[in-house]
Amino acid sequence: MSASGLTLPGLASGDLPAAAELRGRVGGSRNPNPADAAAYAEIMSTLAFGKGFTDHMVHSRWTPSSGWGPLTLEPFGPIELSPAASVLHYGQEIFEGLKAYRWSDGSIRAFRPGFNAARLANSARRLALPELPAEDFVASIAGLIEADERWVPTADGATLYLRPFAFSSEPFLGVRAGHQVDYYLIGSPVGPYFAHGFEPVDIWVSSTYHRAGAGGMGDAKTGGNYAASLRPQAEASDRGFEQVLFLDASTNTYVDELGGMNLVVVDADGTVRTPNLTGTILEGGTRDSLLTLLADSGREVRQEPIALADLLADIRSGSVAEVFACGTAAVVTPVGRLAGEDFDVTVADGRPGPVTTNLHAHLTDIQFGRREDAHGWMYRLL
Ligand SMILES: Cc1ncc(COP(=O)(O)O)c(C=O)c1O
């Protein structure tokens, strides 16, 4: 466990074999019909999240008798799936999300891919799916990036979002772990999350819905958790809120996390607190990295239960100075307001605080090669 409490360290970037070596594990061939100049320009000029995709994907299939088959580069496109594929009925699916960053020297790097490999393996164990070896996970990324290099944006703050996922494709309606599993990696070029600056979000705290319960799948990255968050998210959106904060399902007392981000609180005395990993929270690589940077700078960092009632009282009294959410997509999102059935509080003056703002700059500077990567987080892909 690291100083910040990481339980999924995975392989450090420096301990992974070089990308040039791992790429050799990916067979297959280039897409004979890549996007033409107009289609490419359309996607690269809009960089809308998750809407445009690269020319390729990487695929591997697992069966109980053969294990994982070869990693194969294929044209990006529809996949053939039986209507009886068990993922469509029982949701046996896991995924990851990470980014490839283009540095000013033209090189392309991933941020802590060993962490995502370890988290995918953790999710696989919970969902009774086979674990993809970490080196194969990173190999799939290295192989995709070599083939899709032109899709890693050069625009300031833009990245290639990488989406690895695995699911049971076995055509079988019995309720048991699938005997045929497909792993895919796809990529989507995305713009900087804060196209219009670093805007605080308003958050609705749900006391009626929960995303995960004790013994459930909260610490796995699986589609079902996101399905559970869609209705509360839509209701919050109808009320004019951008995100939902979920409470612990057992007591409805403690803050867990948002639908797709972890939550961090900065006290006026400089202490940083975030909910401890109880099993219902997804352990974020961003969370861990930010806690590490904060500890590096000499701050007290605590992972502990945070009762909603205390948090609201502390925001009102001013003893909590900043609240932010964090995750791969947005890196750091300032929280301007927290509201629920019987409360509505503004954090500080509703503007991003200095700790939040500096952390966002610090982490993105490391990711884009503008600041020293003291922890060796970046992994060179090309
Ligand atoms: C539910 C949830 N919590 C937290 C996170 C943040 O994780 P990370 O920082 O690794 O992106 C994510 C995003 O992956 C998420 O989906």
**85-89, 156-160, 191-195: which range is least confident on average?**
191-195
Question: What tokens were used for 222?
Answer: 């699986």
CA of 163 to the centre of ligand 1 (A): 13
* Interval 317-348: pLDDT, tens: 999 999 999 999 989 999 999 999 999 999 98
Residue 96 has pLDDT above 70, yes or no: yes
- Specify the higher pLDDT residue, 274 or 14: 274
Q: What is the pLDDT of residue 349?
A: 87
CA of 289 to the centre of ligand 1 (A): 12
Give the residue-averaged pLDDT of 5-10: 77
**106-120, 195-209, 216-230, 318-332: which range is least confident on average?**
195-209
Residue 193 has pLDDT above 90, yes or no: no
Give the residue-averaged pLDDT of 188-206: 86
State which ligand 1 atom lies nearest to the alpha carbon of 97.
14
Percent of the chain with pLDDT over 70: 98
For ligand 1, atom 16: residue with the closest CA: 260
Q: What is the pLDDT of residue 232?
A: 98
State which ligand 1 atom lies nearest to the alpha carbon of 329.
11
Q: How far is CA 169 from CA 25, 27, 72, 83, 165, in A?
A: 23, 22, 17, 9, 12
Q: How many residues does this entry show for the chain?
A: 382
Residue 3 has pLDDT above 70, yes or no: no
Give the residue-averaged pLDDT of 298-309: 98
φ/ψ (deg, to 5) at 85: -55, 130
Q: What is the pLDDT of residue 4?
A: 57
Mean pLDDT of the chain: 96
CA of 285 to the centre of ligand 1 (A): 7
- The C-alpha atoms of residue 134 and residue 136 are separated, in whole angstroms, by 5
Residue 196 has pLDDT above 70, yes or no: no
**What is the rounded (10 degree) CA torsion for 82, 85, 87, 88?**
60
CA of 221 to the centre of ligand 1 (A): 8
- What pTM, to 2 d.p., does this model score? 0.97
Q: What is the pLDDT of residue 224?
A: 97
H-helix or E-strand spanning residue 140: helix 134-147
CB atoms within 10 A of CB 372: 8
Tell me which amino acid residue 159 is. Answer: T
Q: What is the pLDDT of residue 186?
A: 99
Q: What is the pLDDT of residue 108?
A: 98
For ligand 1, atom 4: residue with the closest CA: 261
Backbone conformation region of residue 203, classed left if phi is above 0, alpha if psi is from -120 to 50, else beta:
beta
Question: What tokens were used for 302?
Answer: 């605590």
CA of 339 to the centre of ligand 1 (A): 22
Please answer whether residues 147 and 27 qualify as being in contact, where contact means their C-beta atoms are separated by less than 8 angstroms: no
The string over 154-164, giving b where at least 16 C-beta atoms fall within 10 Å of a residue's C-beta and e elsewhere, is: eeebbbbbbbb
Give the residue-averaged pLDDT of 26-35: 98
For ligand 1, atom 1: residue with the closest CA: 260
CB atoms within 10 A of CB 80: 6
Residue 75 has pLDDT above 70, yes or no: yes
Q: pLDDT confidence of 1, banded at 50, 70, 90?
A: very low
State which ligand 1 atom lies nearest to the alpha carbon of 289.
9
- What residue ranges do the domains of the chain occupy? 13-191+373-380, 201-351
Question: Which CATH code is given to the segment(s) 201-351?
Answer: 3.20.10.10
- The C-alpha atoms of residue 110 and residue 100 are separated, in whole angstroms, by 5
Q: What is the pLDDT of residue 245?
A: 98
State which ligand 1 atom lies nearest to the alpha carbon of 221.
16
CA of 219 to the centre of ligand 1 (A): 10
Question: Using CB atoms within 10 A of its CB, is residue 174 exposed (0-12), middle (13-18) or buried (19+)?
Answer: exposed
224 Cβ partners below 8 Å, 6+ apart? 91, 93, 217
For ligand 1, atom 15: residue with the closest CA: 260
Q: Which of 99, 328, 366 to mutate to test the pocket of ligand 1 (most atoms within 8 A of CB)?
A: 328
* Interval 257-289: pLDDT, tens: 999 999 999 999 999 999 999 999 999 999 999
What is the 8-class DSSP label of residue 7? S
Residue 250 has pLDDT above 70, yes or no: yes
Is the domain defined by 13-191+373-380 classed in CATH 1.10.10.10?
no
CA of 37 to the centre of ligand 1 (A): 34
User: 113-126 and 285-296 helices cross at what angle (nearest 10)?
Assistant: 130
Q: Which of 99, 219, 222, 282 to mutate to test the pocket of ligand 1 (most atoms within 8 A of CB)?
A: 282
State which ligand 1 atom lies nearest to the alpha carbon of 259.
1
- The C-alpha atoms of residue 272 and residue 4 are separated, in whole angstroms, by 11
Q: CB within 6 Å of ligand 1 — which residues?
A: 97, 257, 260-262, 282, 284-287, 327-328
Residue 6 has pLDDT above 80, yes or no: no
Residue 14 has pLDDT above 50, yes or no: yes
Given the DSSP bridges, would you call strands 181-190 and 320-327 parallel, antiparallel or unpaired? unpaired
CA of 282 to the centre of ligand 1 (A): 6
Beta bridge partners of 165: 95, 184
CA of 164 to the centre of ligand 1 (A): 14
Q: What is the separation of C-alpha 183 from the centre of its chain, rounded to a whole number of angstroms?
A: 17
